[in-house]
Amino acid sequence: MNTLNGNSTPSALSKSNSSNTIRSVPSESLHLDTTSADELRRVHRSDPTAMPHSTRTSPQASIPHSQPPLSRHNPNLGVGNGLVRKISSEFGPTRSYTTSNLQIPEEGSPNTNGNSISPGGQWSSAVGRANLGKSGRVIERLMGENDMLKRDLNLERLRAEESKQAVRMAEGKMEALAAEYDGKLHDAAINKTLLKRRERQVAEMKAQIEAEKNRADKAVERERGWKEAMEKIEDESKRSVEEAQTFAALMKGRNDAMTSHWRDQGVEVNKTVAKLGAEIETIVQERRADDDRMNMLQELCDQQAEQLTALQAEKDGIAEAFDKYKTMQEDALKEIKERARAQEQANEAALLETQKVLGELKWALGVKKNVKGAE
């Protein structure tokens, strides 16, 4: 047993030869086999290639099913607590033992030299002598390799646990990125709706301006028609007045001629004069009515001119307000487009980062599927 623990001394060898038995000595706990999780984390942190959230394994980590070199062998390694080892039957009867005490051999037959196990559960002298030779070194080497494989298995288990934690952290980060991306999409939809509303308002203002322009053009056309009608009526009235004056002068001349020539026919002449006076009075009244109508048309033209001036001023005010509103809307539209462009760039960056993280996760899952024993 001392030979297995790497503490063989000449006195121990002489005692084993004299008594033909090996006393059971409690083995020391193997500190490398019981490496704490804190030490493993410190080793993992010391690796410059390892990242906190990376799912890649360190290049120094060995694959669980890989075999270590046979030359890595420490003769001073002890047996771990609760560790059960079995020795091949080619070195004698197969025995199972623990760190607390030695167990009864699995094969009840005695060894080849006829020595049996002592009542205290000690090894026979044959196994003790076997430990002194080449077979003992082979057993010790196999035990060291077994311990080293168990340490590698524990390291791989810890690395698998860290990989699972990294995957969970990456999933949480992806959920947060997805929520942020949805929020940004919602903001972009709101900005797009506002932009469409502003465009509709601009279109409505343009339609109103076009309607005002059409109304102003129609008012100008009506004013032109009214002026032409007023000029036409004025010309007709002047012509009628001239004709009436000519006719009155003609009648007056005739009256004078008839009065001077036909003095004897005074009564008849008076009747004719009275008749002509009535006709002249009618013509004068018609002329006055024409004058009243001309005055009314003149007032109407003045009123239309005032309305046209007011419409022109209103048109100028609307044009100025539209220019200001157009400038303000163009500035707002430019700002919204810049924000939308920046938002789109941020969304593309977040999408690239998400795709990168998804690729790393796929790679980690691929490693987990392809590497035998990875969890």
Question: Which of residues 36 and 258 earns the better pLDDT score?
Answer: 258
Residue 279 domain-assigned?
yes
pLDDT tens figures, 293-306: 999 999 999 999 99
CA distance 289 to 134: 151
**Same domain as 308, residue 213:** yes
Average pLDDT, the chain: 72
Cα separations (Å) of 354 from 141, 181, 182, 338? 49, 10, 13, 24
**Same domain as 138, residue 21:** yes
pLDDT tens figures, 347-356: 999 999 999 9
Residue 175 domain-assigned?
no
Residue 375 domain-assigned?
no
**Same domain as 189, residue 163:** no
- 49 SS3 class: coil
- 66 SS3 class: coil
Query: What one-character DSSP code corresponds to residue 374?
Result: -
- Global confidence as pTM: 0.23
| Residue 362 structural domain | 180-368
CA distance 33 to 39: 12
Strand partners, 21: 124
CATH code: domain of residue 203: 1.10.287
The number of distinct structural domains making up the chain is 2
**Same domain as 208, residue 265:** yes
Instruction: Specify the pLDDT at position 165.
Output: 92
Longest dimension (CA), the chain: 203
Q: What mean pLDDT comes out for the span 87-100?
A: 42
**Same domain as 147, residue 12:** yes
CA distance 306 to 191: 46
Instruction: Specify the pLDDT at position 254.
Output: 80
Transcribe 201-242 into DSSP letters.
HHHHHHHHHHHHHHHHHHHHHHHHHHHHHHHHHHHHHHHHHH
Residue 206 domain-assigned?
yes
Residue 359 domain-assigned?
yes
